[in-house]
Chains A and B, each alone.
Chain A
């Protein structure tokens, strides 16, 4: 079991590094990296704090400590997916409104040019 917790520690550190490097290279915006940083830090802390993990396991009533860790990680991931779905939905709405506005402005511009041509 300790070996499994060591693996999750390694994975958490790897993910933490990937997120930090991505932020540094501007592949991911800072505001969207916060959720990942919090999740990976929490996973790292839980992997190294066995008593805390055991306390959580007893609280939830699960038979296995690693299962508790994976359940928590899964829960956090679900919340993050939901958060990103909300963000994507907003972006899609904004994008559609923007495309419609571009089309309408182009329409006005074309009308204006045609009007000028007719007057000239």
Chain B
């Protein structure tokens, strides 16, 4: 898996933990909808045959020596992608909830907008995606919290269906939240004056395995993410202060 000397080289990374029933379908679907794009499954030390299933489906596998959790798992993929010289990386979850048909749209948005991150969002337009009541409440809460921090609304802050360009890849390969990384990652980018966009995406209900966020963990999740958000907000970043604030395209004349 080596990126051609191609300014648009794309890698699809798939963090997976005990997803032997779903992973092959995800890899095959990615190959079907973005042919020729390498797929890297990052196995977070699964106890089942996730690695074997991923390899048989045609994916490269980065096998972690012990369970690091989602953040450490995704960051390992970002590190390898950065080292291998990829320009763009799109993350698709290994449980089959993300629809690989949306990958080309995220990729196009990454290239055309020039922003550092594109989020595949369930809520930009109504697309029939359903979330549980507790999760839905959590998403609404974090939308409110993030709005003043990010300076613009984010419809789906907990979405793991994200694409990043090489600039963001460089940052994430050095700094990436370890637990529940999606929301904190937005704040990490904001501290560097990076931009993000959202594109509408569909989300399938989980067919195999279980979500890592149980009802009991939801409270811990909210507390942990809030702490992470505010700690990142309080971090003093000299580089960000020195860098001139970038004006988003189409935000007015002048400058």
Contact = CB atoms under 8 A, between A and B. Distances in A.
Interface of A: 96, 99-100, 102-104, 106-107, 111
A99 B75 CA distance: 11
A107 B64 contact: no
B64 A103 contact: yes
B62 interface: yes
Interface stretch (B17-25, B65-73, B108-116): B65-73
Interface stretch (B76-84, B87-95, B159-167, B229-237): B76-84
Nearest to B75: A100
A102 B64 CA distance: 8
A107 B62 contact: yes
Nearest to A111: B1
Nearest to B42: A103
B62 A103 contact: yes
B1 A104 contact: no
Contacts of B1: 111
A104 B62 contact: yes
B125 to A, nearest CB: 37
Nearest to B80: A104
A100 B178 CA distance: 12
Interface residues of B, number: 17
Interface in B30-77: 42, 60-66, 68, 72, 75-76
Nearest to A101: B79
9 closest cross-chain pairs (CB), A and B: A100-B76, A103-B64, A96-B72, A107-B62, A104-B80, A99-B65, A102-B65, A103-B62, A103-B76
A104 B80 CA distance: 6
Interface string B163-193: 0000000000000001000000000000000
The interface residues of chain A, by DSSP majority, are classed as helix
Contacts of B60: 107
Contacts of B178: 96
A38 B83 CA distance: 46
Contacts of A99: 64-66, 68, 72, 76
Interface in B114-141: none
A97 B76 CA distance: 8
A54 to B, nearest CB: 42
A65 to B, nearest CB: 40
Given A96-B178, A99-B72, A100-B75, A106 B66 contact: no
Query: By CB atoms of chain B within 10 A, which of A104, A106, A111 has the most?
Result: A104
Contacts of A103: 42, 62-65, 76
A106 B63 contact: yes
28 contacts: A96-B68, A99-B64, A99-B65, A99-B66, A99-B68, A99-B72, A99-B76, A100-B64, A100-B68, A100-B75, A100-B79, A103-B42, A103-B62, A103-B63, A103-B64, A103-B65, A103-B76, A104-B62, A104-B79, A104-B80, A104-B83, A106-B63, A107-B60, A107-B61, A107-B62, A107-B63, A107-B80, A111-B1
Contacts of A100: 64, 68, 72, 75-76, 79
Contacts of B80: 104, 107
